[in-house]
Amino acid sequence: MSNRAPLPPEIARRRTFAIISHPDAGKTTLTEKFLLFGGAIQMAGQVRAKGEARRTRSDFMKLEQERGISVSASAMSFDFRHYRFNLVDTPGHSDFSEDTYRTLTAVDAAIMVIDGAKGVESQTRKLFEVCRLRDLPILTFCNKMDRESRDTFEIIDEIQENLAIDVAPASWPIGMGRDFVGCYDILHDRLELMDRADRNRVAESIKIDGLQDPKLADHVPPDLLAKLREEVAMARELLPAFDRQSFLEGHMTPIWFGSAINSFGVKELMDGMGEYGPEPQPQKAAERQIASDETPVTGFVFKVQANMDPKHRDRVAFVRLASGHFERGMKLLHVRSGKPMAVSNPVLFLAADRELAEEAWAGDIIGIPNHGQLRIGDALTEGEKLRFTGIPSFAPELLQAVRSTDPMKGKHLEKALMQFAEEGAAKVFKPMIGSGFIVGVVGALQFDVLASRIEVEYGIPVRFESSQFSSARWVQGPKDLVEKLVNVNKQHIATDHDGDIVFLTRLQWDIDRVVRDYEGVKLSATKEMM
């Protein structure tokens, strides 16, 4: 990496990242402040998080619904200083979902938000582990310092121990709760003071000549100043200093302390993302690695979202550009079908609204409206036959039967289910025998999410019920053998939304039996997203 020529400036200024957190830590509030300081929205309102139900939708939708500001779900782009930030939303609900996993394949870094009083919570840990699988660099924001929080060393220790990562303080809090006055910026020797009067104002920043600078006493009460000096001295002795390389390799996380709701510490965090965050990283394909500064445009679909606009039953495929300079109207090769595709109405998700993307660069996320041709995992290139890897498909761990509680609407249910299957929100199986559908997910809450989406987006009331099956396996093998297997085991056979054959069962014994009796047939727990 170090010997490589610098990236072209347009690519080098891009930072593509997600925010991960446990519900209620302050992700929505932080997102909103990012947009505010990125000039994407004019005024931040009060964040009101109420109940689990709203978390079933993306947090950006939550913003949209609550504030009446128009933000697009899933990805938003805005400028901050000379950087272009692409913030990709991770679903807000507390259950682990495939969607989250895939979203994290499209970013180069993550911001982990923790609540200063609660520390590392369960969902934070899970999402962190996903980031670690990809060695994503992580910046940490310890939020809600305006409330009673834990001791700073204790918070840092907990992150180090719980997540097995080095933590380097980028700032140090001065006081906490009611006495919280601000932070000492360790990386730049600055004093950042919180403005309690105006929540949307950027705090005052005072250049300080080290911790012994007498100027500090003008702003910090004597007892807090003594504590600050002592703690920072201790931190410098006991904790590792920030090392960008270690951070970029995913071994170290810099931590900022702040209060999102008071807009405090947010700008410093954004500066941190700009200054230290990774440039668009190379992406892996089965054939080779794609560097972001390669001239030809390449990209992959990491998410498909239906019904973004209820008036049009459109779908938007979210594409992470891996390389090149994309211009509107370009003809790209849709590698899976082998067909050319004129991308004439791509959208860039500038937070103000969906906007036509005239151009985009490696690292950017563009939305391509389509009628179902684009699927998760699909590659778009200028001709090269690439297959991007690392976009996982999960074996469904929970299977349930679904039916409409309104018998008149049974027909529409199939359409709705197929749409969700194409989005990658669930696996949908149509058994050969019987008229219902079996839905497979990886986390139980996904059933609730689906039920509510089917009701809201399609007006179909549905019920999920336990099914006689608990495992699904994709069947592959020579045509005649597969046909034989299907004919003999009709009660176990279903097709997925692509028409591929799936073997459903409750017993491992059945799977072993098929493998034994049909030599040459493979039963696999996952299917490549291709």
Q: Which residues carry a binding-site annotation for GTP?
A: 21-28, 89-93, 143-146
CA atoms within 13 A on the CB side of 237: 6
CB of 48 to ligand G4P, least distance (A): 4
Q: What is the Cα–Cα distance from 495 to 510, expressed in whole angstroms?
A: 18
Q: What is the Cα–Cα distance from 102 to 92, expressed in whole angstroms?
A: 14
Q: Does 143 help bind ligand G4P (rule: CB under 6 A)?
A: yes
Q: Does 47 help bind ligand G4P (rule: CB under 6 A)?
A: yes
CB of 55 to ligand G4P, least distance (A): 7
* CA-CA-CA-CA dihedral for 90, 258, 244, 160, to nearest 10: -80
CB of 260 to ligand G4P, least distance (A): 4
Out of 20, 26, 333, 529, point to the residue binding ligand G4P (CB under 6 A). 26
Q: Does 259 help bind ligand G4P (rule: CB under 6 A)?
A: yes
Q: Does 510 help bind ligand G4P (rule: CB under 6 A)?
A: no
Q: Does 23 help bind ligand G4P (rule: CB under 6 A)?
A: yes
User: What residue spans of 239-318 are helical by DSSP H?
Assistant: 244-248, 266-276
Strand partners, 112: 20, 140
Burial of 8: CB neighbours in 10 Å, binned 0-12, 13-18, 19+: middle
Out of 41, 76, 260, 322, point to the residue binding ligand G4P (CB under 6 A). 260
Strand partners, 256: 141
Q: Does 71 help bind ligand G4P (rule: CB under 6 A)?
A: no
Judged by CB under 6 A, the number of residues near ligand G4P is 21
Helix (H, G, I), strand (E, B) or coil at 35: helix
Q: Residues, the chain, total? A: 530
Positions in 443-502 near ligand G4P (CB under 6 A): none
DSSP string computed for 42-102: S--------TTGGGGS-HHHHHHHHH-----SSEEEEEETTEEEEEE----SSS--HHHHH
Choices 44-52, 266-274, 365-373, 486-494 (CB under 6 A): range interacting with ligand G4P = 44-52
Q: Does 171 help bind ligand G4P (rule: CB under 6 A)?
A: no
CB of 81 to ligand G4P, least distance (A): 23
Out of 13, 14, 15, 27, point to the residue binding ligand G4P (CB under 6 A). 27
Q: Does 21 help bind ligand G4P (rule: CB under 6 A)?
A: yes
Which parts are annotated binding residues? 21-28, 89-93, 143-146
Out of 46, 337, 466, 468, point to the residue binding ligand G4P (CB under 6 A). 46
Out of 69, 261, 321, 322, point to the residue binding ligand G4P (CB under 6 A). 261
Q: Does 49 help bind ligand G4P (rule: CB under 6 A)?
A: yes
Closest CB to ligand G4P among 260 and 386? 260
Phi, psi of 307 (to 5 degrees): 55, 40
Choices 26-34, 320-328, 349-357, 407-415 (CB under 6 A): range interacting with ligand G4P = 26-34
Strands (E), 421-500: 427-431, 437-441, 462-466, 471-476, 493-495
Out of 33, 57, 144, 427, point to the residue binding ligand G4P (CB under 6 A). 144
| Pairing, β 14-21 against β 83-88 | parallel
Q: What is the Cα–Cα distance from 310 to 263, expressed in whole angstroms?
A: 34
Q: Does 89 help bind ligand G4P (rule: CB under 6 A)?
A: no
Closest Cα partner for 272 from 285, 290, 254? 254
Q: Does 147 help bind ligand G4P (rule: CB under 6 A)?
A: yes
Q: Does 183 help bind ligand G4P (rule: CB under 6 A)?
A: no
List of residues contacting ligand G4P (CB under 6 A): 21, 23-29, 46-49, 59, 143-144, 146-147, 259-262
